[in-house]
Amino acid sequence: MTIVVTGATGNVGRPLVTELIRAGAAVRAVTRRSGAADLPPGVQAVPSAADALDGATALFVNSRALGPGMADLIDRARAIGVPKLVALSAINVDDDVNRQPSRYRGDRNREAEQLVVDSGLPWVSLRPSVFATNFAGMWAAQIQAGDVVAGPYAAASSAPIVEADIAAVAARALLTDELDGLRVPLTGPQALTNTQLVQVISAVLGRSLRYLEVPTEVVRQRFVSIGFTTEFADAYLAMQAATVDRPALVTHDVEKVLGRPARTFADWVADHTTLFNH
């Protein structure tokens, strides 16, 4: 099998390439980043997804990596008759766009899913929850600087998924027909509040960390000061607010597909302690 992976050096793409190589597939990794040199031996790094489709047996569609060329790529895949399309979507794809902060950073999860569904080709759409890695991006600098993590809505919750689990399910979707025609919601094994997430990090690091709820306007100003748009900040705050009184959805699809439990947030932190240490 020959699999084309877009976003091949990203948080999901990199472990996905590794999963596919281990399974014996030929991989064409689409990336323009210098990290391509770190991909596993035997991977063919290619700069253009469109040029990689001839002879491919499946295509992994990452909307952020593809940008405005995504629709044209799906059209080409249809014209060539690529046997399988797998889209990386999101668990909140059906929510109001004003509660989807990733859209303001280049994700087009809704469009990616709709394009593969409408392609006329066999398809799978993966709908993961918030990535575990996101919490390093949001909190690592604060944890490196002190023992307080400041943010909105202490009671807001999420069910973070380890990116390697998304990759493992994606590999199954690309290599078999077990998930064809399905929108698969993927989460970690437990919904945790912001306070509980910080407690997990504290326990793994052996430090006394605490979460400090701050006004939403302070959070909004902080996002803008580090280069995010107000639209992103407002969408993030709206997404958080929606889970204050309703715990985040937890599914068991990772276990159903892989035959093992999804990895916990604590597992992920233990594997990435260097991101949080001084």
DSSP letters for 123-178:
EEEEEE-SBTHHHHHHHHHHHHH-SEEEES-TT-EE--B-HHHHHHHHHHHHH-ST
Selection from 22, 59, 57 nearest residue 40 by Cα: 22
pLDDT above 80 for 221: yes
pTM for the model stands at 0.95
What angle is formed at CA 10 by the lines to CA 93 and CA 124, rounded to 5 degrees? 45
Asked whether 9 and 65 are in contact (CB, 8 A), the reply is: no
Of the pLDDT bands very low, low, confident and very high (cuts 50, 70, 90), residue 38 is confident
Q: d(Cα 252, Cα 89) in Å, to the nearest integer?
A: 17
Interstrand relation of 2-6 and 26-30 (parallel, antiparallel or unpaired): parallel
If you ran DSSP here, which 8-state letter would residue 264 be given?
Answer: P
Six-digit token pair at 140?
């690592």
Of the pLDDT bands very low, low, confident and very high (cuts 50, 70, 90), residue 40 is confident
Residue of 33 and 204 predicted with greater confidence: 204
In DSSP notation, 24-50 reads T-EEEEE--SGGGGGSPTT-EEES-HH
Asked whether 185 and 122 are in contact (CB, 8 A), the reply is: no
Selection from 23, 19, 17 nearest residue 4 by Cα: 17
pLDDT of residue 31: 84
pLDDT above 70 for 58: yes
**What value does the mean pLDDT take over residues 99-116?**
94
What's the distance, CA 77 to chain centroid?
A: 23
What range does the domain containing 208 cover?
Answer: 2-275
Q: d(Cα 227, Cα 145) in Å, to the nearest integer?
A: 20
Give the CATH number, domain containing residue 82.
3.40.50.720
Selection from 85, 79, 83 nearest residue 59 by Cα: 85
Domain count along the chain: 1
Q: d(Cα 179, Cα 62) in Å, to the nearest integer?
A: 18
Q: d(Cα 59, Cα 52) in Å, to the nearest integer?
A: 9
